[in-house]
Amino acid sequence: RPRVLSGIQPTADSYHLGNYLGAVRQWVTLQEEHEPFFFIADLHAITVEQDPKVLRERTRRAAAQLLAAGVDPERSAIFVQSHIPEHAQLGWVMQCITSFGEARRMTQFKDKSAKGGEGAASVGLFSYPMLMAADILLYRPAYVPVGEDQRQHLELTRDLAQRFNSRYKKTFRLPEPYILKEVAKIYDLQDPAIKMSKSASSPSGLIDMLDDPKASAKKIRSAVTDSEMEIRFDEESKPGVSNLLRIYSALTGTDIETLVGKYAGKGYGDLKKDLAEVVVDYVTPFREKTHQILEDRAYLDGILAQGAEKAGVVARRTLADVYERVGLVAPA
Ligand code: TYM
């Protein structure tokens, strides 16, 4: 079975709807016919300052949400990035084959360092994409299910894999991004020109999966639309309505055309009211399950230990190959 791998950062108390629809949901469907590795990217989280206590808590919450979403620990290795030291070790090798100029072109660094200025950003934030390349290449996956915002990182990963393979010996498989067009970019409810995001969205623009469902319903009902009346899918001139239609379609499995037909002659209020109900029905059981799992910490930690064991076997093998190929002497 081809491998799939992906990761998510534990930088919020809850996943938001963009994380869930853009990535995590695909993890659940892909696990059926693949050999999956899914991890909580705590090493990536510390590229910006984190409160240690909060980070620990959020790492467990992130894992609990994966389970609540339907990631099955019997099929999938679910683990914490820092439990596998090979990520950081291969990350170093990746840094050594990346040019400064190419790292500098990564748009996420440009965006994230824009606020405080490049001089204030951590070196870790700069080398973030090389750690991510290591995360991926260690497991030699065929597919990496992510949202659109990770595409550039995937391209760098492929470049580095190719460079390593041609400079030394074929070692890495070139991973394919697995990005579903329909959900690749979920937009902010208040500002549909930007993606829904932990760092950039206002609270009212973002749906937290673990928030009080009533609060989420309210956010949907007050989502920004446009000054027309007609419900149709047009990302250029109706980004707000189109975003709502996408979310509606993704959560119910109804295609957008059918939805547009259903709402012909109706108003934005009707669409929002119905979508608010859809969201409530969707997040309520997710939230209950997450809290239930979080109550049994021994169970959760056991799953993460089991995941680390599975992942460690693969990661150690790849790193040993890499070290040998670049000319490092194996310890006697
Ligand atoms: P992170 O933690 O920011 O986001 C997790 C996943 O959610 C997707 N996503 C979205 N999809 C659609 N619409 C949105 N508005 C939206 N916002 C976020 C992201 O694309 C991502 O798939 N660098 C990664 C974590 C990572 C990783 C990896 C991923 C570290 N190592 C190796 C894959 C493979 C990140 O920060 O994702």
For residue 138 and ligand 1, the question of a CB distance below 6 A is answered with no
Using most ligand atoms within 8 A of CB, pick from 20, 87, 106, 150 the residue to mutate for ligand 1. Answer: 150
Give the rounded distance of the alpha carbon of 65 from its chain centre: 13
Q: For the residues of 298-323, what is the DSSP string, one character each?
A: HHHHHHHHHHHHHHHHHHHHHHHHHH
Q: Which atom of ligand 1 is nearest to the CA of 8?
A: 2
Which residues, 6+ apart, have CB-to-CB distance to 327 below 8 Å? none
Give the amino acid at 184.
Answer: A
Query: Which of 250, 176, 162, 175 has its CA nearest to residue 207?
Result: 250
Could you read off the pLDDT tens digit of each residue along the chain, which spans 332 residues? 999 999 999 999 999 999 999 999 999 999 999 999 999 999 999 999 999 999 999 999 999 999 999 999 999 999 999 999 999 999 999 999 999 999 999 988 888 888 788 788 999 999 999 999 999 999 999 999 999 999 999 999 999 999 999 999 999 999 999 999 999 999 999 999 999 999 888 999 999 999 999 999 999 999 999 999 999 999 999 999 999 999 999 999 999 999 999 999 999 999 999 999 999 999 999 999 999 999 999 999 999 999 999 999 999 999 999 999 999 999 98
Q: Active-site positions?
A: 112, 195, 198
Query: Which of 61, 83, 119, 86 has its CA nearest to residue 320?
Result: 86
Which pTM does this prediction carry? 0.97
How many residues would you count in the chain?
Answer: 332
